[in-house]
Structure 1
Amino acid sequence: MITLHIEHEITDFGTWKQAFERFAGMRRDGGVVSQRVYRPLDDNRYVIIHLDFAAADEARKFLDFLTTRVWASPADAPALAGTPRTRFLEAAAEG
């Protein structure tokens, strides 16, 4: 399992969440097998997203889609503030 870790500032969670939900089908078709959205307790203008994939190539392709299609368009990412930070993660241990 490979996790695409994404974190970024937002201007409004409700607006961000609506935009995120519009891409549910794209996530499914792009190979996302599970997802989690986190919000720091001390910062309501920030989100952390974990998208899980079966393979690293699917995660890389989906990041390319996010970068070129979603984040590049203010209409598709209306509450995005700043540049998202990403990282690919692989579980090293489970408890």
Structure 2
Amino acid sequence: MTTLRIEHPIVDFALWRRAFDGFAEARSTAGVLGHRVMRPVDDEKYVAVELDFPTVEAAEGFLRFLRTNVWADPQRAPALAGAPQTRIFQSA
């Protein structure tokens, strides 16, 4: 399994969650098998997301989509408060 991990600061979790939920179909179409949303216990304005994919190529493709179609447009990522940090992992 391959996991795309994304972390970034946010301005408001409820606003961020609405935007995230609005991309459910895009995640499904991209082959996301499952996801986890996590928040640090000491920072309400930060979020981490793990998206599971069947292949590295699928994760890379969705990351390209996020960079060009979501994060580049403040209307589509209204709660983003900083540059997302990303990394793709494979199960060992």
SS at match of 1:82: coil
Is structure 2 residue 72 aligned with structure 1 residue 61?
Answer: no
State the aligned residue count: 92
Q: Note the residue ranges of structure 1 that are not aligned, 5 or more in a row.
A: none
Runs of 4+ in 1 over 6 A off after TM superposition: none
The Cα offsets for residues 41-71 of structure 1, whole Å up to 9 and x where unpaired, read as 0000000000000000000000000000000
Separation of aligned partners in 2, 1:20 and 1:79: 10
- Normalising by the residue count of structure 2, what TM-score does the alignment of the two structures yield? 0.99
The Cα offsets for residues 11-68 of structure 1, whole Å up to 9 and x where unpaired, read as 0000000000000000000110000000000000000000000000000000000000
Q: For 2:66, give the aligned amino acid.
A: L
Corresponding residue of 1:17: 17
Q: For 2:29, give the aligned amino acid.
A: D
> What is the CA RMSD across the aligned residues, in angstroms?
0.4
- Normalising by the residue count of structure 1, what TM-score does the alignment of the two structures yield? 0.96
SS at match of 1:15: helix
Q: For 1:61, give the aligned amino acid.
A: G
Separation of aligned partners in 2, 1:56 and 1:90: 8
User: Alignment identity in percent?
Assistant: 52
Q: For 2:52, give the aligned amino acid.
A: D
